[in-house]
Copies of this chain bind each other. A is one copy, B any other.
């Protein structure tokens, strides 16, 4: 069995789905949940997602050989700090945060000689719905999980986390921390900001009722991600600020190119941009094949 005792810190959509997937694979002896709300944790027990739970960090982690931190990004540092005194010598810790620079900083600030057993991770999977009730055993199936190990991280710790995700059906890849944050800012964080800004903009228009009445499928697809969890996205914005700001600024220039071309009746530029974008998007769709990644 890959994991004797698994501890999930934060049993929501991601933590719950991970527990379900590992249980389905018989990869875990025992799963303990940790959180702030006994009501939510009891729901997870009732759903069969975890075996039991604890509201105290001490008993939640002291016998665990694998600990998965699956809480909003801003809680990473306080929770790592809180668990540090109780970690067993052989324990491995990983997380699921959508930005990695701030997580690595938090690990450096709190884990000291435990750093070699910490493996920063990010499953590229999610839904607009959150909470353990939305969790499913197949959430990570055919999705990518990015690990961004530190220079200090031990190979055995990386391998344990890699095997865990592979058992969930995920394809595991490694990237540098900065590279991860730059790529995710462009492909995930920036699109979320655009979707939020678009919905907010339309809601502020004079004809707002008619606008939402006539909004078509393109709009529905485009703004699906604006239904994501506001707190989680707040945390991502703060955690990945530098890279995200760079992406938003870059996007602003490309949008300005289009605006200017429309203003100037510049057919050549418009056709160039639209044709190039179509070609790129069509190529993306082809290479993506039957992969089935979702948000985050």
Contact = CB atoms under 8 A, between A and B. Distances in A.
Contacts of A233: 270, 274
A281 B194 contact: no
Interface residues of A, number: 96
Q: How many copies of the chain does the oligomer comprise?
A: 2
Interface of A: 124-125, 144, 146, 175, 179, 182-184, 186-188, 190-205, 207, 210-231, 233-234, 237-238, 241, 244-245, 247-255, 257-259, 261-263, 265, 267, 270-271, 273-278, 280-285, 287-288, 292-296
B222 A277 contact: no
Considering residues A193, A255, A275, which has the most beta carbons from chain B within 10 angstroms of its beta carbon? A255
Contact of A251 (B201, B217, B244, B273): B201
Contacts of A230: 271, 274-275, 278
Contact of A217 (B252, B261, B285, B294): B294
22 contacts: A124-B216, A184-B214, A186-B205, A187-B211, A187-B219, A191-B222, A191-B223, A193-B255, A193-B258, A194-B198, A197-B273, A201-B254, A203-B280, A212-B283, A216-B294, A218-B225, A224-B281, A226-B278, A227-B285, A230-B274, A233-B270, A245-B259
A248 B255 contact: yes
A281 B295 CA distance: 16
B217 A280 contact: no
Q: Is the interface of A mostly helix, strand, loop or mixed?
A: helix
B198 A191 contact: yes
A247 B270 CA distance: 17
Given A216-B293, A230-B271, A255-B248, A179 B207 contact: yes
A252 B251 contact: no
A57 to B, nearest CB: 25
